[in-house]
Amino acid sequence: MKLYEISQNYLQLLDMADQMDQEVFLDTLASIEEAIDDKIEHTAKFIRSLEADVEILKAEEKRLADKRKVLENKISGVKEYLQHEMEFAGIDKVKRPTLTVSIQLNPPSVCVMDESLIPSDYMIPVAPKIDKKAILKALKEGEEIFGCEIQQTRSVRIK
């Protein structure tokens, strides 16, 4: 069920939208012939339908990511349990026909207890980042900043 009633041409295009190359998609959209006001309305409804699909996909991505996280946590917990049981029993390795379970040393790693005590030789420099909001504010207040100018673009809004 789509959010809006749109013509058959737009419905067919909507069904094929995710399978088409962007250029072919736009050419196909341009080839639909109707009065400009109708075309604008139907295209806007088409956009709304695509936006609704995007929201559904985002929700599904979040649901799947949450489910993945639950399973990863479960795996971690079961591994900790297995390691504890093996260590408690004094077993380092169990070999079976289909798999081998063993406890082994992990590669050495560093544990930093106090970052303030680390010499600067071991710090990774971070590239400076431009504060565009501060620049915009300064430009609006009349300040001249070389290499920058205020730009105002246009875009479609559908209400």
Parse the chain into domains and list their residue ranges: 1-102
What pLDDT score was predicted for residue 5? 53
pLDDT (0 to 100) of residue 158: 81
Q: In this predicted structure, what is the pLDDT of residue 127?
A: 93
In sequence order, the β-bridge partners of residue 102 are: 93
pLDDT in tens, 11-21: 777 777 778 77
pLDDT at residue 32, as a whole number? 75
pLDDT score recorded for residue 73: 97
| Burial group, residue 43, by CB count within 10 angstroms (0-12, 13-18, 19+) | middle
Task: Please list the ranges in the chain whose pLDDT falls under 70.
Answer: 1-7, 35
Tell me the β-bridge partners of 94.
101
| pTM given for the model | 0.62
Exposure string of 120-159, with b = 16+ CB inside 10 Å and e = fewer, is: eeeeeeeeeeeeeeebeeeeeeeeeeeeeeeeeeeeeeee
What's residue 47's pLDDT? Answer: 87
Q: How far apart are CA 58 and CA 157, in angstroms?
A: 21
Mean pLDDT of the chain: 88
Predicted pLDDT at 19: 81
Task: Identify the pLDDT of residue 3.
Answer: 42
Give the pair of three-digit tokens for residue 63: 């649901």
How crowded is the C-beta side of 87, counted as CA atoms within 13 Å? 8
